[in-house]
Amino acid sequence: MSKRDRYYASPIGSVPDFSFNEAVVQVFDDMIERSGPGYASVIALTGQLAARFAGAQDAVYDLGCSTGASLFSMRQHLPHTTRLIGIDTSAPMIEQCRANLAKQASGCDVALIEGDVAATTFEPAAFFALNFTLQFIPTEQRAPLISRIAKATRLGGALVLSEKIRFDDAHQQQLHTDMHHEFKRRQGYSDLEISQKRSALEQVMHPETLDIHRQRLRAAGYRSCEVWFQCFNFMSLVAIR
Ligand code: GEK
């Protein structure tokens, strides 16, 4: 577990865009757990879902693996001969993930790649986890990426896509935004921390509606897609090829 997140605790004159830099990596596990309603459940159950679709000889991807939470979860559920592959653009994330994996006593081999998932060629795989990463990828790159993931997902395999979402309905948007902020307050974040983080993410993270995600997954070739988890404006879809 990382240090307690105090990254936005002091006033910052002009808040720079959020980035997955070394200082963020130091507090990342605590930050994401106290900021994302339902995050721990989504991660814990990602492993259980992966085991439903992937077997001993399969490749399994974690796209935007950060410090390795979804990889750990999948490692606990998958046979030792499954090939896990984690990809992240942030060098400090990959470094921390490698150190965390080394501490784990056993489990399948994990290949870590520092790279942009939007520019990666995927090998055929039974399962992809894309947990809270698509929202950071430029909007115009999302359909081509999902399409390449779908093509690499073998028939009967699946993609778990977890995202913060927005709502077209203004009442729902307001309600879930308020609930999210209240959740953060109850996790010990001050109003200053909440508002500075919000400003930092404004140009960096672009949530979409559930309808947009569903349509994109269908268009990419997934024959079935359903929400399996939602907590306020954080949700996870499972799409089956
Ligand atoms: C978890 N999945 O704990 N290519 C690869 N990685 C990227 C890209 C990209 N184009 N853009 C952003 N990232 C993790 C949490 S965090 C979510 C994922 C969050 C990486 C980025 O470096 C970061 O590590 C991750 O995606 C997003 O389940 O911080 O809200």
Ligand 1 pocket by C-beta < 6 Å: which residues?
Answer: 20, 32, 43, 64-66, 69-70, 87-90, 93, 116-118, 131-133, 136-137
Read off the pLDDT band of 13 (50, 70, 90).
confident
User: Is the separation of the CB atoms in 159 and 238 below 8 Å?
Assistant: yes
User: Contact 49/238 with Cβ under 8 angstroms?
Assistant: yes
Ordered by start, the domain boundaries in the chain are 39-166+204-240
234 vs 18, which has greater pLDDT? 234
- The domain 39-166+204-240 is placed in CATH, from the list 3.40.50.10300, 3.40.50.150, 3.30.70.1350, 3.10.20.30, at 3.40.50.150
Mutational test site, ligand 1, from 30, 120, 136, max ligand atoms within 8 Å of CB: 136
Pick the residue whose CA is nearest to atom 13 on ligand 1: 64
174 C-alpha to ligand 1 centroid (Å): 26
For residue 71, the CA-to-ligand 1 centroid distance in Å is 13
Q: Whose CA is nearest to atom 25 of ligand 1?
A: 64
Please tell me whether residue 236 adopts helix, strand or coil conformation.
Answer: strand
DSSP H or E stretch at residue 198: helix 191-201
**Dist. CA 110–CA 60, nearest whole Å:** 10
Torsional sign, CA 119, 210, 74, 128: negative
What ligand 1 atom has the least distance to the C-alpha of 68? 3
pLDDT at 86 over 80: yes
Is the per-residue pLDDT at 57 higher than 90?
A: yes
Q: In angstroms, rounded to a whole number, what is the distance separating the alpha carbons of residues 38 and 155?
A: 29
Q: E strands along 81-223, which residues?
A: 83-88, 110-114, 125-131, 153-164
Supply the mean pLDDT for the chain: 95
